[in-house]
Structure 1
Amino acid sequence: MVTVHTTPSSAIHATGLRKAYGKKSVLEGVDIDVPYGTVFALLGPNGSGKTTVVHILSTLISADAGHASVDGNDLRRNADGVRSAIGLTGQFAAVDGLLTGEENLMLMARLRHLSTREAKRRVAELLDQFELTEAAKKPLSTYSGGMRRRIDLAMTLIGDPRIIFLDEPTTGLDPRSRHAMWTIIRGLVARGVTVFLTTQYLEEADQLADRIAVLDGGRIVAEGTAAELKKLVPGGRIRLEFADATTLASAETLLPEARRPEESDALELPSDGGIDSIRTVLDRLDAGAIEPTALSIHTPDLDDVFFALTGAPATGTTNSAATTTNSAATTDSADNTDLEGTAR
């Protein structure tokens, strides 16, 4: 009999993931599909279940129900296969501050069972890639926050994983360090690595992710590209500013549908940002001999999406657009033995 080996179509695939701690439900039927060589971002407020999803998919904990596979390996049947394919960088740098950067990397190389020669080669390669060669002999206690996160990610990559989970990798970093981390992540994806990213930085998801899912109340409430998600939320508007209160009052008379933001000498009107809608507003003002001192156009961004889609009680239906809600989780009676260990 000939065994046929097939390549999995998705790097990460999950259906109906559920997780509860006592009476507290954390995940209520989460479906995820991540193609190879892409960045998938999971957005959500604190307590929405983002880290729980990462911990399940990286085999650190088990789901109560549902099915998932990573790199074609079923989480329940082949946890070791999952661990060999992935790297995980958690919310906090998992490094030893008493050891040098080089020693931390060598320790991880030994845990990955690399030969001495291969370990030295890989450590030198990563130190150079992450621009840490000059600091390699210094203890990590002397590293800045950005340097610690870089060495932490370098440790994750020791085993050259095909799939990496980054759980809020830039939390607490200054803007320069955050952008440096983005450059590293883009470089990994360019080499074919699949990245599963959780973040609270909406700009981060917008900059990096091929697809974004919004998690709230244990459910995926929307999923799509950044552009698709932005279309879910109305909120495009024109903002007009005026020289004084008298001119503002006259403009309000001409534009009765406009609203005035609190404590401002400005008016805002709904708009799709198109030239025709802007021209119409200016023509109406021109008819009353009123000229604004400034005009700006606001189109919905991921901030608008985030605030519109999160924080409301779960209803079991998703917003109309990029995706449909997760199907109900399967009631699987298979044994869900907790899977312990570090998945780096």
Structure 2
Amino acid sequence: MQRISLAHGEGGELTHQLIQEIFIQSFGHLEQTQFDSAILTIPSQTIAVTTDSFVVKPIFFPGGNIGKLAITGTVNDLAVSGAIPHVITAGFMIEEGFSIKSLKEIVNTMAGEAERAGVNIIAGDTKVVEKGSVDGLFINTTGIGVMQEQQHRLKPEMVQEGDCVIISGTIGDHGVAILSARQELGLLTNVRSDCALLNHPVHELLEEIKGIRIMRDPTRGGLATTLVELCEDFHFTMEIDEASIPVRRDVQGVCDILGYDPLYLANEGKVVIIVDSNDKQKALDILKDHEVGKNASVIGQITSSHGQSGKLFLKTTVGTTRRLNRLSGQLLPRIC
């Protein structure tokens, strides 16, 4: 059989075959998954938990697929919270008629990314729905991580004037890759999604640098929205320098043609770091030792801290300064 049928979701023989021949073959069958719940021993009393759903369109895109996005997105959310990713669950909602070959490719991609991240996929669920009820395949994940030891954790309460803002690489790559893959506008571009694991460089940063204040991965809403949220949540004011923000020439070209601002385009493999200015060079050196951080750059600084309401300002390339706000309205739906 080459395609998913409703019978694959009925809990009978075809369900058993689907689980055995695709999911267990790729993810393995650990002892703790022999029950209706995975039985875990967590080596800490402090854990981090995240959950996410992935509905990207198209399912396959330059630089990845929905499976790679599901693992990297979940791992990265844990990592930038200061946790060491430990285990992941995965739930699959599959449309009747979906290609089994494509499902195997996606699941194998997930298994490979999980291995690279050092996490286990320890529980899951599969549902098959009638054609038209789901657009091919949706994936839901939950990730659990163990928090770093106290001395290596994030310290947002220590944010102060003069702290530096670092981005680990070029922005907007994922948004443009998805847009070009949809082939709705006839774009010809070689931009690939930046979808990538961040947990290894993030772990090294926290282990080696005491002055790390905050980390976030700027996904939906882009860099600007993420920084606005940080300013408002932690009550500081930040100024970023447009000339220092790394943007690929072809990404900027697409933005110029379509009227988009790369500051608001999605990323899936970047981390924003606020760090003590004395540690900025060490942070850059660590990031640049990893492929995901080779284009890391200091893009701004904290100009005041502990204010009543945080604000984000952009120093433009023509020397003016303007305030940035969250993304307003819908830019690119279903990018993750």
Bigger Rg over Cα = 1
TM-score (norm 1): 0.24
